Chains A and B, each alone.
Chain A
Amino acid sequence: MGIQSSSRSISSFAHESEEELAGFLDFYSIEWRYEPVSFPLNWDEQGRVIEAFTPDFYLPQFDLYVELTTMKQKLVTRKNRKIRRMRELYPDTRIKVLYGRDYRELLFKFGVIE
């Protein structure tokens, strides 16, 4: 997976909210990488990765992965399971999940959305 960093012009975001967060981070001069790494979560008997999780952002300055969840509850539940699994397998890796409601309130606070 390619590494894209701190420039919205070269990035192709999967979701509008991700681009918004990138802009937010740019504003505060926080370096970011978009989906720089996938974490294997499950393997088959031959050792091939059959499930992985790719956090949306990595912030090198804080050594922190950030995942945005702005989707439906059913998908959030599935994502939460993946994040729990990731935390089990990679306990030293810091990841922050911004849930849809929290993130929307943040954008609301800054007047980005109404």
Chain B
Amino acid sequence: MIFFSRINRKSTPAAVKKVVFDEMAISSRVEELASEISRDYQGKDPIVAGILQGALVFTRDLVKNLSFPVLPDFIRISRYGRQSRTGEVKIVKDLREDIQGRHVLLIEDIVDTGLTLNYLVRILLERHPASLAICTLLDRTELRLAEVPIKYVGFNVNDEFLIGYGLDYREYYRDLPFVATMNLEVVEPQTADGRPKTADRLTT
């Protein structure tokens, strides 16, 4: 598995409006969550599964801090968007492991409407895991439509568009080491490939 490489930015991107959670705050909270999860899952040999792409960074850091060894698994589903408005959600990268009878902890970067997780929970419960719980770095309840079984929350956030630490705007800014609100006014018209002209590219 290729994780995002950390890059040393010479300056903060113009798209960053305000840092909401800096590296230290995130690191500290991730350690707390890992401690809680380690206690709850000790001896249960859970499958820890990050939801791509957003939860990749969070999953990496969380797993590093667990008290038991675990190789993270990943799952990815198609995303609603301009190109897929008439389609339907589907799994585009499935888990490696059979989860039947296993304890599963899904890792998400942010939960807003809950529709993505609701879909995943429905699909995964059909595979009869011993248990299924969710850990999210950020919880934004203002937009919640579907209730989902979130057991661990890093931070509660309100109605701001966030980037960094895995969260993107059209695949940009995931590599920022902090979570920040996005200055939507800096987004310029798109290039031919649909990406904003001014955005910094993700480095992998």
Partners in one complex: yes
State which of A106, A109, A112 has its C-beta within 8 Å of the C-beta of B85.
Answer: A112
User: For A66, A102, A109, which residue has the most chain B Cβ atoms within 10 angstroms?
Assistant: A109
Chain A stretch 26-82: residues in CB contact (< 8 A) with chain B: 26-30, 59, 61-62, 64, 66
Question: What chain A residues lie within 8 Å of B32 (beta carbons)?
Answer: none
| A24 CB-CB contact with B under 8 Å | yes
**Is there an interface contact between A108 and B161, defined as CB atoms closer than 8 Å?**
yes
Cβ distance A92 to chain B, nearest Cβ, rounded Å:
16
Cβ distance A71 to chain B, nearest Cβ, rounded Å:
17
Question: What chain B residues lie within 8 Å of A61 (beta carbons)?
Answer: 146
Contacts between chains A and B (CB distance < 8 A), count: 67
Interface residues in chain A, defined as those with a beta carbon under 8 Å from any beta carbon in chain B: 23-30, 59, 61-62, 64, 66, 96, 98-99, 101-102, 105-106, 108-112, 114
Question: What chain B residues lie within 8 Å of A114 (beta carbons)?
Answer: 187, 189-190
Would you give the 0/1 interface string for B7-18, flagging 1 where the beta carbon is closer than 8 Å to chain A? 000000000000
State which of B119, B142, B147, B187 has its C-beta within 8 Å of the C-beta of A28.
Answer: B119
State the CA gap A56–B145 with chains docked (Å): 14
Question: What chain A residues lie within 8 Å of B89 (beta carbons)?
Answer: 27-29
Residue of A nearest to B77 (CB): A28
Residue of B nearest to A21 (CB): B145
**Is there an interface contact between B85 and A111, defined as CB atoms closer than 8 Å?**
no
Q: 17 A–B contact pairs at CB < 8 A?
A: A25-B115, A26-B88, A27-B87, A27-B89, A28-B88, A28-B115, A28-B116, A28-B119, A30-B145, A61-B146, A62-B147, A66-B145, A102-B142, A102-B159, A112-B85, A114-B187, A114-B190
Chain B stretch 72-105: residues in CB contact (< 8 A) with chain A: 79-82, 84-89
**Is there an interface contact between A59 and B145, defined as CB atoms closer than 8 Å?**
yes
Question: What chain A residues lie within 8 Å of B43 (beta carbons)?
Answer: none
State which of A99, A102, A112 has its C-beta within 8 Å of the C-beta of B81.
Answer: A112
Question: What chain A residues lie within 8 Å of B143 (beta carbons)?
Answer: 98, 102, 106
| B69 CB-CB contact with A under 8 Å | no
| B144 CB-CB contact with A under 8 Å | yes
Residue of B nearest to A111 (CB): B81
With A28-B115, A28-B116, A110-B79 as contacts: A101 and B88 at CB distance below 8 Å: no
State the CA gap A64–B114 with chains docked (Å): 13
Question: What chain B residues lie within 8 Å of A110 (beta carbons)?
Answer: 79-82
| B60 CB-CB contact with A under 8 Å | no
**Is there an interface contact between B146 and A30, defined as CB atoms closer than 8 Å?**
yes
